[in-house]
Every structure is written in structure tokens, then in C-alpha cells.
Amino acid sequence: MITIAITGGIGTGKTYVSAIFQREGIPVFNADTEAKKLYARPEVLAQLRQAFGDAIFDGSQLSFAKLTQVIFNDKEALGKVNGIVHPLVSQEFAKWAKEQNAAMVIMESAIIFEGGLEKQFDYVITVDASLATRQRRLRIRDAHLDDATIRRKIEAQLPQDEKCRLADFVIRHDHDNEEEFLQQQVNKIIQYIKNREMHNSAIEVLLNHRSIRQFTDQPIEHDKLDLILRAACNGSTMGNMQLYSIIAIQDKQRMAEMAPLHFNQPIATNAPLMLIFCADTHRFNKYCQYRQADTDAYSNLQSYQWAVTDSIIAAQNACVAAESLGLGICWLGTITYNCDRFAEILQLPENVFPTACISIGYPAETPELTDKLPVEAMIHHEVYEDYTEERINDLYREKEAHPNTLKLLEENQLDNLAQIFTQRRYTKADNEHFAQVLIETLKNQKFM
């Protein structure tokens, strides 16, 4: 059985999110509700009276109002209460979980991290919302709360950004009318967990890929670099000719020299390692020459295509190997934009062409998984099935409704994501310019 904790600060909407998981057939144990039941137990009341005296009681009855007042701004007092109640909540959850006929169970609790309970679960999900949203929800929930009290309630909890950092997953819940977006986030998490539990570590690395653009200063150990390069060179290849070469760059001065060609992106210089993959028939031509098999059979577009395929397979192998070793990676597509200049700086001979550039290092960030099209968008069976307008709308609906897309639309003052690509990111004029650079470089490198 897979155990999951859902947590989040007051007003983030974790109970609402928990209900969505419950609709998907995953039982939910509400720790706050169960904890209140525990306060009726004689042994709990006795421990509370011993810890705080009669000040939190009205006669023989526990006063939650008085208890809340005592622990509200007193972390030591809060710790005492948690020390009494949390072990019992955990016991009740364990007993409850055994009674559930389910592959997954959930505990919803506001203080998973504060109580040090995260190690008891396979996964922890933090529900997040903006401060303004949380404040608005609390005002609706209790009209008697003033802004100062609301602020103190929020500040009394572990900061929300820390809860997000410590979680395995983060669900964004900023708007009360975003049921479809919440459902999509829940579905993705459920599917990810199912996939992870049934697949091996290689599949896990692939399904958990994310681009890293900020790295620590920690250098990559020599043995790890060796493993990455060995993995890269063990991929499939055309006729086993291995028509590629890899240039490993660790010299910061050389990275700085190439940075303008990458449009001075920080990622071009902030990683300890950069691997540049090249389509390369030059080495095989040399082999033929030195074996009295002189030929110009591999100085053409067909051979270039073989070599490009070989080099990209090697690049992807290197990425998977790096990520499996705890490193982060980021592809720099700009390597082909200025391929003529890169060929000069890297001193590439004829029949060698740069195809991929990857920055590698220890991550200094853990970004969210990139929003992708549903798998069925890319899959065809037996023959290519063309896309109708209706199908395009269905396939792109989630991506167009994603908060990242909405933010881009607002920043660029455009109507849709397609316009961002065609009018901002990859314009016709730019593409035609760089296409001409690519053609001329292919000619110079004797592939055309």
C-alpha cells in the first residue's frame, strides 16, 4: 500500500484537493478531524491537564478556545500538544489504513513537516496558494477574523515556500473556480505514482526529467563523467560506424567565449560541464583512407542524416546517465543557430557538424515538471492520422489553460500560445536566417 500525505498552510485549500483524490477512489484520513476526537480520551485530557493545568479547561471539559490561545504564539506549548496528540494520530492512521481496500491511502494534515511526520509516507503533496488567496479564503470562512489575526495565523505556521521545497509534489490552488486544472494536476500525480511503483529506476529517471538552469559550484567527479561518456558511447548507431564525436568542455574561459553565440544565456556558463555532440563522418573517412579504402561516399546529406541520428542518440544516453547519477541537464538549442561560428571555435574539420549542446551539473533548483501534450498527441497506429481542428483543440486545451501559458500571454499581450511561438520565440524571419546559416555551414563542412 502506498501512503501519501497532503499538507499545506491554512487557507491553501488542501481539504478541497483531498476531496478530488477521494473522488478518484483514494481513501482520505483527515488528521485534524481525527485529532479532535482524540481530545475526548481520558488519557489525553490527563496529559493536557498535567502539561497546562486547569487554565485550558472549563470544569472537566477541554476548552479548545483556551487551548488555541495558549499555543497560538508559543511554539514550546504547541510542541507539547503535538507530542501528546501526533503519536496517537499516527497510530489511528495506521489502523485505519489497514482497513482500506485500496492501493493508495492519504492522510490530510496541516502539520506534516512541523510534526516530523513526512518520513512515515511514501509521498508528500503540498497544496499551495498565494497569500492573497489564503487571506481571502480565511475571511470568507470566518468573517470575525481581522487582517492582523489572519496574518498571525499564517505566520505561525511553517512558511509555505518551505513546505513546497520539502514536498514530492506541489498542487497549485489559487482560484476557487479551477476545478478542471486541479483535476489535471491530481490525475498527473496519481499516474506518476502508479508509473513509478511499477517501473524500474531507468523509467523513473525518464518520467521525472526536468530542465535545470541553475547549478551549484560542485564539480562533477571524474568517475561520474567517465560513466556518462561511456553510456553516451554505448547507444545504437548506424551500421555500428558511430558517426559522432563528443567535445567535453570544462574550461570556463572557453564557455565564456562561446556564450555570445548562445545569446548570453546564463546556462551557457553556469554549469561545470558542457558536452557538445557532433555529427561526424570525418573519423570514418580517415579510417577508410588509412585502410586503402579511399571514398567520398560519406560526404553527403544521407550520411549527414545518419550522423545526426547517431549523435542525438548519444546525447540522450548521456542525459539519462547524468540524471540517474543525481545531476541536472539542459539542452541549448542555440548550438545550431550559430553553427558556423561554433565550427570555427571548436576547430571542426570537414564532415563534422555540431548538433547538440548540453549543460550538466548538480542542480541548485527543483523546478516543476514541464507541462507536456498528452501522450496520445504524438502516437499514431499503423498510419499517420492527421489532426482535425477539434482534435487539435482537445490536445492543446490543457497546455493553453496552464498558469505558465496564461502568464506568458499576459506578458506578451497576445491571444494564444501559438502566437507566442510564431511572433516571439521562433519567428519566420529568424528561422529563415538561421536556416541559411545551417545550409552554408553544411556546404562548408562538405555535407552538401
pLDDT tens column, 216-235 = 999 999 999 999 999 999 99
CB atoms closer than 10 angstroms to residue 89: 22
- The Cα–Cα gap between 392 and 248 comes to 41
- The Cα–Cα gap between 77 and 75 comes to 5
Is the pLDDT at 337 greater than 90? The verdict is: yes
Residues 170, 126 contacting (CB under 8 angstroms)? yes
* Helix %, strand %, coil % of the chain (to 5): 55, 15, 30
Q: What is the pLDDT of residue 200?
A: 59
Superfamily grouping for domain 2-207 = P-loop containing nucleotide triphosphate hydrolases (3.40.50.300)
Residues 18-29: what's their mean pLDDT? Answer: 93
Is the pLDDT at 40 greater than 80? The verdict is: no
Q: What is the pLDDT of residue 389?
A: 96
Is the pLDDT at 176 greater than 70? The verdict is: no
CATH topology of domain 222-370: NADH Oxidase (3.40.109)
- How do residues 246-272 score in pLDDT, each as one tens digit? 999 999 999 999 999 999 999 999 999
pLDDT tier, 198 (very low <50, low <70, confident <90, very high otherwise): low
Backbone angles phi, psi at 40, to 5 degrees: -85, -10
Residues 109-135: what's their mean pLDDT? Answer: 88
Residues 119-129: what's their mean pLDDT? Answer: 92
Residues 104-111: what's their mean pLDDT? Answer: 90
Which pTM was predicted? 0.60
**% of the chain at pLDDT higher than 70:** 98
pLDDT tier, 368 (very low <50, low <70, confident <90, very high otherwise): confident
Q: According to the per-residue pLDDT averaged within each range, which of 23-37, 69-83, 167-181, 426-440 is highest?
A: 426-440
- The Cα–Cα gap between 128 and 154 comes to 13
- How do residues 413-425 score in pLDDT, each as one tens digit? 999 999 999 999 9
Judged on CB neighbours under 10 Å (0-12, 13-18, 19+), 59 is exposed
Residues 393-409: what's their mean pLDDT? Answer: 92
125 strand-pairing partners = 6, 169
Q: In the chain, what are the domain boundaries?
A: 2-207, 222-370
Q: What is the pLDDT of residue 144?
A: 79
Residues 195-218: what's their mean pLDDT? Answer: 83
DSSP H or E run through 62: strand 61-62
Mean pLDDT over the full length of the chain:
90
- The Cα–Cα gap between 275 and 225 comes to 10
Amino acid at 234: N
CB atoms closer than 10 angstroms to residue 224: 17
- How do residues 289-302 score in pLDDT, each as one tens digit? 999 997 889 999 99
The DSSP symbol for 276 reads E
Judged on CB neighbours under 10 Å (0-12, 13-18, 19+), 42 is exposed
Q: What is the pLDDT of residue 194?
A: 82
CA atoms in the 13 A half-sphere facing the CB of 35: 17
Residues 108-134: what's their mean pLDDT? Answer: 88
Coil, helix or strand for 309? helix
Please indicate whether residue 23 or residue 197 has the higher confidence score (pLDDT). Answer: 23
Residues 434-440: what's their mean pLDDT? Answer: 95
Is the pLDDT at 100 greater than 80? The verdict is: yes
Residues 17-46: what's their mean pLDDT? Answer: 87
C-alpha cell at 192: 506518476
